[in-house]
Copies of this chain bind each other. A is one copy, B any other.
Amino acid sequence: MSATEQRALRIGEVAELVGVTPRTIRYYEELGLLGAAAARTKGAHRQYGEDDVARLRELIRLRDLLGLSLDELVTLAETEEARRSLRAQWHDDPAEHERARILDQAIELTRQQLQLLQSRRRKLDDFIAELEQKLDALHGRRRELGS
């Protein structure tokens, strides 16, 4: 209701913002990963808001940095959906050991994801260090040449 202008972007603009192609966005919609924008008459232009852009960015991040397949992203979205609908009922649920078990699982998963990312970070750092060294060497040889 405030000045948050929703539903203003077209598929090409979203694609540019996120760094993918329109085809990727349509494909993700086909898989149910992106709001099918239910209120869209067949053939009409798709409309997107800032929240859609954020969601797509998150999907791309999970795909690229955690290496999840689109199938895994679908499963993840379903899991989160199930969790959201559980929340209401959860609120005063006395099944404490169930909650503890779920939390423990989440902690374990997050820990594993962190380890994967840290391993990738080390590889990246190594590669960066090597390239910096290479760049130094190139500059050295270039200086010898002069002109």
Contact = CB atoms under 8 A, between A and B. Distances in A.
A135 interface: yes
Interface string A115-133: 0011011011101100110
B107 A135 contact: yes
A124 B131 contact: no
Nearest to A105: B138
Chain A: number of interface residues, binned into ranges: 20 to 34
Question: Main secondary structure on chain A at its contact with chain B?
Answer: helix
Contacts of A61: 123, 127
A139 interface: yes
Contacts of A111: 135
A21 interface: no
9 contacts: A61-B123, A61-B127, A65-B124, A107-B138, A110-B138, A111-B135, A117-B131, A120-B124, A124-B124
